[in-house]
Chains A and B, each alone.
Chain A
């Protein structure tokens, strides 16, 4: 029986231990380092697939649960489990990591063992974030995530990496401190209401909280998650981090780390502080819509491809938070559609994981050859790299939300849902059809099409087999999710329904 195996622990610790081994291997044998890293990444992915296979989509309960005392003095447990929300995100993590390893194959010549180790450990830690059901364990993973990313940008980053890493670190650290305070506060409340002190997130879900407490806890979580997503106006670390990060760092950052913010809203904010979420939903909705419109315009005028895609990520993540927080206004009207919004936000997260990874990898392909991310340094790439150009146009279309690609599914669901909340939400959200297409395709026009711009472009070599494999696999994922999203939506629907039922009830004591 699959459920008897500690699969989650395997998914968390296999890459961390694998990373340690790779690190211990030293920099003498870069080839064996790379192969070890790849084998570990693939094995982890295979292990995570068994989560999907063994998952019972009809149940909203936590599955594959593992629990053991960790720090008994404070009732802190090593407590792991997944539901329909976290399971797809774990598989996204293990899936994307394979491509990060492959994409860095011969590109990274400086200390490849540290590079590969950092990404493998990162993978395990991120899987830990998604599967932790103990708040302290979650927090440890959450903060641990910063270290490898800090190293990745700081060691393999661009010229301005010090500013970027500090900004990245302080921003996210600033947010998470408030979250820690909130977690400790709730821990202290548990004995009164639940009879024992607990850091269990599921206990926090059941914990009654006064309106005032919910208000502050909500804001504390918001500080942590809004920075991670990132939401306007705490987004400015992201473009800087992306620009300085090596390709693999950008991929992990965009494809997975941002999702942790979205995940936090679903795992913490909504179920723990439903009343405050309802009262303050306008704030999140406003921030989301500003992200879609304002950031879209900012993306339009970027001259650096990575910055452009970074801003595009922020705009796309606006759909995620919008989808999550329109549920109250839909529910208040007594019509269906709330689940459509949450599921749409979830699908958008997975889809953005594929597309943003692919877009950053595309830029990486060009950067590896010409060492420039400036749009103006390119033009007419299609004449020297036709296969690459095909991929780039495909992913650009996916980024612009073309139906048939995954980029469409989440946006479509969120637009349909937000129309039910308020016509103007849908109106503003739907402007992404125009702005998103404008910034993406304008970039494509200047980079891919036109006459060959300079000798650099004239000398470009089309993608090799390794790059073809990476982009091809992601293209298949984008198409598969775009043509048949049903399986993904199915695994999350019971969990989402349960979440919506839960947040419909007030948690104010006596209220």
Chain B
């Protein structure tokens, strides 16, 4: 099996290297073939691995590949832990990545137009793009397959690197290079917490190996749950809360949770395929995966869980609201992603890790689908992304329309669709939670369902229904995109509809994750939901509020945007302050720009001009140089030019020194 796991990881890397280093030689077709083949094989092998877990008798695999370093008794390794959780993640990552590779062949076909004519960076941009997305697949696989914190951090930063490279892919655009720097730095704020969390684990568990750490955490005799540490003065902190919160700060960066969410909407500057792959389906879910993987640690601290829950619920609701006022098709989907990531975090916060990971999976399919469909629309509209200019596209792009409809229904949790199962599982789990903050979270996630349906179908109706695009020229050229684009849409639409109902039983309410996820009995909210099979779950859905809220949102969207378009403007005027607040995204960007970006430059200038140049150089160095110069002016009188004068001076000096030391 080790060979298979190595192949799964290394094939995408190989493809990336070939397309990246020899892109000019192998040409465009060579690049997309070699990378798609690498990722395709990797996906096939991942599905094989997953199949062995489902139908075979595969046991969790935990082995080191090589020892990175040994220092002071602490072993740093590179190795794989493949259990049910990892196998599921591998399958999702490689499958979505494969779809995106195929899609990219169509989407980036005319990329040379995005570059200045004489730009040499533009000559092989197509090959470079394939290289990057394959490199991303490698990095993400390293992240999910890690069996230790070192490799987790490696994967964590490597996906961040590729995200940086891809957001800024069209490096000639100032907005793109602004967005990628912002994304990297905000992620680094998260990583700052993350690395401290890893340092804490390394110190108190004296190991970086998952299994070794988790075994210690689960052992009540070692008493990690009650361990206290001092950080500031004499105040005691629960060790596990500190570790949990520090690690979670990393997840807040990567999974774009409030207040570190600001980078994700801007990341839409990148080409759409990577918005689907990296900024919706996979990389941004790394934080959710990480917390689920660390469930043995999080279970020991209700404080940390509450922290996760409150941050998640806040993100889920308040970023969803922003989605209501966005007019850029990709940004609507981006805010929807933020909101859905919040839902997943909420699930983790109430110890329903399985439900969080389950939503991660369904969301990966339907959100990748929605992004790719949006990309298809964008191509049809000749790169106009404003949904107010669209409309009626249903008639011109039937496959895009229908798959987007399926994706939207899955997103709002329409009964029977994948998203219904995963979202309802989360909401039910929250309703049974007794942890602090669960009341707050419950209200927000239930209200969030309405908001989700409203923004999703606002976009859906504006884009696909009503009268055709405003611009007659655009209308004349509007037609369905080629097969390389529509086939991935169909491939993703299938799981968006069916995967939820098929897998909810074993994954969420069964023992599929028994090896991977650890839940204390007193936190086990999922077992209280009372699951009685798929049909029972759907029936139960009809008796609870979220379903009607979703349908209500759908209806309101239809009513406002299809029936009474003037209502939208009236609402906007009536709620002007609220609208402004949402339009300005609660002023996070402005505040960060002023306080952090401006502030650091201010501090830098202060230190440089006042500290380095003023005090150290001006006063101390040049000041003493001047003093020496002045003293030398006097001392110059002594310089007689006679050798014996100097000799006497030297001897006297030596004598002085010696006396001082000897006495």
Contacts and interface: CB of A to CB of B under 8 A. Distances in A.
B118 to A, nearest CB: 7
B192 A431 contact: yes
B73 A386 contact: no
B71 A298 contact: no
A420 interface: yes
Interface residues on B, range: 35 or more
A152 to B, nearest CB: 22
Interface stretch (A82-90, A130-138, A248-256, A437-445): A437-445
Nearest to B622: A167
Interface of A: 167, 170-171, 181, 184-185, 188, 233, 236, 294, 297-302, 335-340, 343-344, 380, 382-386, 389, 393, 397, 402-404, 408-409, 412-413, 415-416, 419-420, 423-424, 426-427, 430-431, 433-435, 437-438, 441-442, 445, 448-452, 458, 462, 483-486, 489-490, 493
Contacts of B560: none
Contact of B607 (A297, A335, A340, A412): A297
Given A336-B206, A462-B120, 17 more contacts: A188-B661, A236-B621, A298-B607, A300-B601, A336-B73, A383-B115, A397-B161, A403-B153, A419-B202, A426-B199, A433-B188, A433-B192, A438-B185, A445-B178, A448-B171, A449-B172, A449-B177
A419 B196 CA distance: 8
Nearest to B199: A419
A424 B174 CA distance: 37
Contacts of B181: 441-442, 445
Contacts of A448: 171
Contacts of A344: 71
Interface in B201-223: 202-203, 206
11 contacts: A301-B604, A335-B203, A336-B74, A340-B74, A383-B115, A404-B158, A415-B199, A419-B200, A426-B199, A441-B181, A485-B68
A297 B69 contact: no
Interface in B27-74: 66-74
A384 B616 CA distance: 41
Contact of A340 (B71, B116, B192): B71
A389 B195 CA distance: 29
Nearest to B170: A449
Contacts of B200: 419
A388 B613 CA distance: 33
Given A236-B616, A442-B181, A380 B69 contact: no
A452 B71 contact: no
Contacts of A397: 161
Given A403-B157, A419-B196, A449-B168, A300 B600 contact: yes
Interface string B611-654: 11000110011000100000000000000000000000000000
Nearest to B155: A403
Given A236-B612, A382-B121, A434-B189, A301 B601 contact: yes
Q: What 9 A-B pairs come out closest when comparing CB atoms?
A: A419-B199, A301-B604, A383-B119, A339-B72, A297-B604, A449-B171, A403-B154, A300-B604, A340-B72
Q: Is the interface of B mostly helix, strand, loop or mixed?
A: helix
B206 to A, nearest CB: 7
A31 to B, nearest CB: 31
B1 interface: no
Interface in B133-152: 150
Q: Is the interface of A mostly helix, strand, loop or mixed?
A: helix
Nearest to B176: A449
B120 A386 contact: yes
Interface string B587-602: 0000000000000110
Given A236-B621, A420-B203, A445-B181, A185 B661 contact: yes
Contact of A339 (B71, B612, B620): B71
B72 A338 contact: yes
Contacts of B154: 403-404
Interface string B331-354: 000000000000000000000000
B66 A427 contact: no
B416 interface: no
B470 interface: no
The residue in B70, B119, B203, B620 that gathers the most chain A C-beta atoms within 10 A of its C-beta is B203
A434 B603 CA distance: 15
Contacts of B608: 297-298, 301-302
Nearest to B242: A423
Contacts of A486: 67-70
A448 to B, nearest CB: 8
Contacts of B165: 393
Contact of A301 (B150, B177, B605, B625): B605
Contacts of A301: 601, 604-605, 608
Contacts of A430: 192, 195-196, 199
A435 B118 CA distance: 35
B174 A403 contact: no
A149 to B, nearest CB: 19
Nearest to B603: A297
Nearest to A486: B69
Given A433-B188, A485-B69, A416 B661 contact: no
A437 B188 contact: yes
Nearest to B229: A423
Contact of A297 (B153, B184, B195, B600): B600
A140 B620 CA distance: 28
